[in-house]
């Protein structure tokens, strides 16, 4: 079923182009609604029936690469978010996108993006997961650069692509390392074998590589710089990307591989510290943003950091740890906030799109006083922003309280530096509270700077209004979500029984440390805003240092690549071959040295006969002469002489068939080259420096040594049983007393026939070139 569902998404993509001439452009989006609607129905059925779906099609069995997909408790949460938020985003985009835009291109890219995210959360094979993972990077690149005529769109798309693809490649290395350790690419098998994996250098290499993949995708410090530039995408794309798709892929990866790496201090502290630092950095830069979407982008970075830190607090050893209750509480808080963040962040981005449509700007310095002009948008964005700030009676308050509870319980569970973590969490949450207030206050309150503001398009307010209602509803029914979504997800992550550990979610926890942390955030945040002290504490920065580093690295990289390409691309084939062979020699140098040291010394030498010595000296003399001749014609004749010398050696070694083949080939190639080189200038026209000659001779000698090394190795390794035993019965099977003739004439008759045809065609081509009448010099010059 899951494979059919993914194939359906693949089939819908070309439908936008095939049907564009038959339907009104406005209806293009309604075709796109079909896919997330089916996904939503499938998610509802999976939630209600509590059935785990599996699909498996063998692909490359020897490498354990299979089209394997699974919809379990963890993937169901993300699958539901992708479907529901995707459904609302596409409905919103139908009325947001102009009819003048290339809508088939937009929706085909958006469908590809949705399909890729479905593939990521459903994949049960690491290589398949990687394929869909990179599909999200490619499709997001296409969506961010949708308005490709704008420089910022192209730059933002390139930055997101470079950083996320880099992380994806590192993640792939981690997957390969896990395959080497376990012999499987199946994710459920990897989790089952997690307790038996040898925790050596390769294991930690895999862990670091997978961490890089997750942190780059989910915009964690210092890789977060791509996400603010991704705001150049159309607002529906931003709403989808920031809430339920691409940035959540890294979160999903961490949760999926948590059973494998839990209990590792490096894994745990990287996530905790990096998450809290990202949360703090995001809040600092969000407070002083002047672009409304830029503020939301940094708020997403901050919220993602909060989620990652909770995953870190849940990464005690899930098999042997005595901190089971803290692990379960951390996962509950993490999963609840993933859902809450998707809902209120999508609403905020959609509201921002309405503001942009009405005021034709997102600049907070130009906005203000829009609450009466855009009343529904004001209500929607205020509810969503208050939820993000953690105000009571909204869903964000619940997950924020759980976050503070996890930080508080880490202190009682003996977590080192717990007070430092609590302090970082509180400081970062003050920033969250501040940027939430600043966004609403500067957009909807104060003096109205723009007098001509278009009215609200009611169709645009439908989707964000539904999301704002969900923000309120989720506060009152959190335990319904806990029972049907969060609990199955926790059970799919953890290997032990969680019965009695998953506590009901409530808004009131009594007078305890989390309450005082919340009051501290509210009081300090309100004072900083009312007194405008936040403008001094949170200085406005025009340029982030990491962005400067990225830009300078990119510019210098372009300059270096331009210089390298200029030097390498000389339009000379021999130059390209020299570089190619030099790289091959460098890569294979360790192998060559190993074989020569260990094999060459024990190689059994036999003193050659007089005839072999004479023939060898003849060949060596011809090869030495090739180095010094200045005529192409002479060089061709000497090359043929080398081939003829080898043919005579075959005759001396009683191999007339090989000798005949070699003689025919040498004759044909020599004649062909002589015919071609007749019209080319002599080698004297190509003056080579002494250094060039030394390099050429060294590369040629190195390649010959490499070939000899491979020959020495081939004598010691037999991967398959020799086929010669089959040909030993040549006389009985084919009636041939000469085994070589029997092979060529009977066993490989068609091959030999086609080789003869090739030789005939080659001979006819040479004959045509020879008999072609010569043209005058002037005519040749004109050609």
Q: Would you list the DSSP string of 306-330?
A: HHHHHHHHT-S-TTT-S-HHHHHHH
Q: Given this model, what pLDDT does residue 740 score?
A: 74
Q: Given this model, what pLDDT does residue 712 score?
A: 73
Instruction: Please check the confidence at residue 397 and state whether its pLDDT lies above 70.
Output: yes
492-516 exposure pattern, b = at least 16 Cβ within 10 A, e = fewer: bbbeeebeebbeebeeeeeeebbbe
Q: What percent of the chain has pLDDT over 70?
A: 92
CATH topology of domain 590-782: 1.20.120
Q: Which residue has the higher pLDDT, 413 or 553?
A: 553
Q: Given this model, what pLDDT does residue 310 score?
A: 93
**Per-residue DSSP letter, 56:** E
Q: Given this model, what pLDDT does residue 321 score?
A: 54
Instruction: Please check the confidence at residue 481 and state whether its pLDDT lies above 90.
Output: yes
Q: What percent of the chain has pLDDT over 90?
A: 41
Instruction: Say which range, 201-205, 327-331, 487-491, 711-715, has the weakest mean pLDDT.
Output: 711-715
- The 10s digit of each residue's pLDDT in 666-710 is 887 887 777 777 666 655 545 667 777 788 888 888 888 888 888
Q: Which residue has the higher pLDDT, 652 or 249?
A: 249
Q: Which residue has the higher pLDDT, 465 or 612?
A: 465
Compute the mean pLDDT over every residue in the chain, rounded to the nearest whole number. Answer: 85
What is the Cα–Cα distance from 327 to 333, expressed in whole angstroms? 10
- The 10s digit of each residue's pLDDT in 564-611 is 887 777 777 778 888 888 888 888 888 888 777 776 555 566 677 787
Mean pLDDT of 280-304: 90
**Per-residue DSSP letter, 683:** G
Q: Which residue has the higher pLDDT, 645 or 679?
A: 645
Residues in the chain: 783
Q: Which residue has the higher pLDDT, 282 or 765?
A: 282
Mean pLDDT of 108-136: 94
Instruction: Please check the confidence at residue 141 and state whether its pLDDT lies above 90.
Output: yes
Identify any residues that bridge with 363 across adjacent strands, giving them in sequence order. Answer: 291
Q: Which residue has the higher pLDDT, 252 or 510?
A: 252
Q: Which residue has the higher pLDDT, 404 or 712?
A: 404
Mean pLDDT of 489-496: 85
Q: Given this model, what pLDDT does residue 635 score?
A: 81
Instruction: Please check the confidence at residue 77 and state whether its pLDDT lies above 60.
Output: yes
**How far, in whole angstroms, is CA 451 from its chain's centroid?**
46
Mean pLDDT of 425-445: 92
Secondary structure (H, E, C), 607-650: CCCHHHHHHHHHHHHHHHHHHHCCCHHHHHHHHHHHHHHHHHHH
Instruction: Please check the confidence at residue 319 and state whether its pLDDT lies above 70.
Output: no
Q: Given this model, what pLDDT does residue 550 score?
A: 80
Instruction: Please check the confidence at residue 151 and state whether its pLDDT lies above 90.
Output: no
What is the Cα–Cα distance from 538 to 530, expressed in whole angstroms? 14
Instruction: Say which range, 177-186, 275-284, 686-695, 701-710, has the weakest mean pLDDT.
Output: 686-695
Q: What are phi and psi of 67, to 5 degrees?
A: -80, 80
User: For residue 118, what are the CA distances in angstroms to 74, 86, 210, 428?
Assistant: 13, 11, 20, 32
Q: How confident is the model at residue 389 (pLDDT cuts 50, 70, 90)?
A: very high
Instruction: Please check the confidence at residue 246 and state whether its pLDDT lies above 50.
Output: yes
User: For residue 445, what are the CA distances in angstroms to 289, 576, 781?
Assistant: 17, 66, 79
Instruction: Say which range, 192-196, 329-333, 651-655, has the weakest mean pLDDT.
Output: 651-655
**Which of the listed ranges 136-140, 696-700, 759-763 does the model predict with the highest average pLDDT?**
136-140
What is the Cα–Cα distance from 534 to 330, expressed in whole angstroms? 31
Longest CA span, the chain: 107
């Amino acid at each position: 079923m899951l494979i059919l569902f993914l194939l359906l998404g693949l089939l819908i993509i070309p439908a936008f182009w095939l049907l564009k001439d038959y339907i009104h452009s406005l209806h293009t989006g309604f075709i796109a609604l079909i896919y997330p609607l089916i996904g939503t129905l499938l998610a509802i059925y999976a939630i209600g029936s509590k059935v785990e779906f599996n699909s498996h099609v063998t692909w490359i069995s020897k490498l354990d690469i299979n089209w394997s997909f699974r919809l379990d408790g963890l993937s169901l949460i993300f699958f539901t978010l992708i479907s529901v938020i995707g459904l609302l985003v596409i409905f919103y985009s139908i009325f947001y996108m102009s009819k003048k835009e290339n809508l088939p291109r937009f929706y085909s890219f958006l469908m590809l993006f949705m399909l890729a995210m479905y593939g990521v959360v459903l994949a049960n094979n690491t290589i398949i997961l990687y394929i869909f993972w990179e599909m999200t990077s490619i499709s997001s690149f296409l969506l961010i650069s949708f308005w490709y005529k704008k420089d910022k769109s192209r730059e933002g798309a390139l930055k997101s692509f470079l950083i996320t693809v880099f992380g994806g490649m590192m993640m792939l290395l981690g997957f390969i390392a896990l395959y080497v350790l376990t012999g499987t690419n199946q994710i459920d098998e990897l989790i089952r074998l997690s307790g038996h994996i040898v925790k050596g250098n390769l294991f930690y290499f895999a862990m670091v590589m997978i961490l890089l993949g997750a942190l780059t995708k989910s915009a964690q410090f210092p890789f977060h710089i791509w996400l603010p530039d991704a705001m150049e995408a159309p607002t529906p794309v931003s709403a989808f990307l920031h809430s339920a798709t691409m940035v959540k892929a890294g979160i999903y990866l961490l949760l999926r591989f948590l059973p494998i790496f839990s209990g590792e201090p490096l894994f745990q502290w990287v996530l905790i510290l990096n998450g809290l630092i990202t949360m703090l950095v995001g809040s600092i830069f969000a407070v002083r943003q002047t672009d409304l979407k830029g503020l939301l982008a940094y708020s997403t970075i901050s919220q993602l950091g909060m989620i990652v830190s909770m995953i870190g607090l849940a990464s005690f050893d899930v098999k042997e740890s005595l901190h089971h209750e803290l692990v379960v509480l951390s996962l509950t808080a993490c999963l609840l906030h993933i859902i809450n963040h998707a809902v209120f962040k999508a609403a905020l981005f959609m509201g921002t799109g309405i503001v942009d449509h009405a005021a034709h700007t997102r600049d907070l310095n130009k906005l203000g006083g829009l609450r009466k002009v855009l009343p529904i948008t004001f209500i929607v964005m205020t509810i969503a922003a208050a939820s993000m700030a953690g105000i009571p009676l909204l869903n964000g308050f619940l997950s924020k309280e759980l976050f503070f509870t996890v930080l508080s319980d880490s202190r009682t569970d003996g977590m080192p530096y717990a007070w430092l973590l609590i302090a970082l969490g509180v400081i970062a949450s003050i920033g969250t509270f501040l940027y939430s207030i600043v966004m609403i206050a500067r957009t909807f309150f104060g003096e109205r700077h723009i007098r001509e503001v278009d009215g609200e398009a009611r169709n645009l307010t439908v989707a964000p209004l539904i999301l704002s209602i969900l923000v309120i509803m989720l506060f009152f029914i959190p335990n319904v979500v806990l029972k049907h979504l969060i609990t199955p997800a926790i059970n799919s992550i953890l290997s032990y029984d969680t019965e009695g550990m998953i506590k009901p979610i409530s808004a009131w926890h009594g007078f305890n440390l989390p309450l005082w942390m919340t009051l501290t955030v509210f009081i300090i945040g309100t004072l900083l805003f009312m007194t405008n002290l936040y403008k001094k504490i949170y200085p406005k920065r025009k340029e982030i240092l990491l962005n400067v580093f990225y830009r300078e690295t990119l510019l210098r990289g372009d300059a270096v690549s331009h210089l390298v390409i200029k030097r390498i691309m000389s339009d000379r084939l021999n130059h390209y071959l020299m570089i190619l062979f030099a790289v091959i020699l460098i890569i294979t140098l360790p192998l060559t040295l190993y074989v020569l040291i260990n094999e060459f010394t024990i190689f059994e030498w036999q003193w050659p006969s007089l005839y072999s010595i004479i023939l060898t000296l003849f060949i060596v003399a011809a090869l030495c002469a090739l180095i010094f001749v200045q005529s192409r014609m002479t060089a061709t004749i000497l090359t043929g002489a080398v081939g003829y010398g080898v043919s005579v050696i075959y005759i001396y070694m009683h191999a007339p068939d090989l000798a005949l083949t070699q003689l025919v080939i040498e004759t044909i190639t020599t004649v062909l080259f002589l015919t071609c080189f007749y019209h080319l200038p002599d080698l004297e026209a190509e003056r080579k420096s002494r250094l060039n000659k030394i390099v050429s001779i060294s590369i040629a000698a190195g390649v010959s040594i490499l070939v000899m090394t491979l020959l020495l190795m081939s004598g010691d390794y037999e991967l398959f049983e020799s086929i010669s035993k089959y040909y030993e019965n040549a006389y009985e099977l084919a009636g041939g007393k000469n085994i070589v003739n029997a092979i060529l004439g009977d066993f490989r008759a068609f091959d030999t026939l086609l080789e003869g045809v090739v030789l005939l065609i080659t001979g006819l081509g040479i004959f045509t070139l020879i008999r072609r009448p010569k043209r005058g010099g002037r005519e040749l010059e004109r050609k």
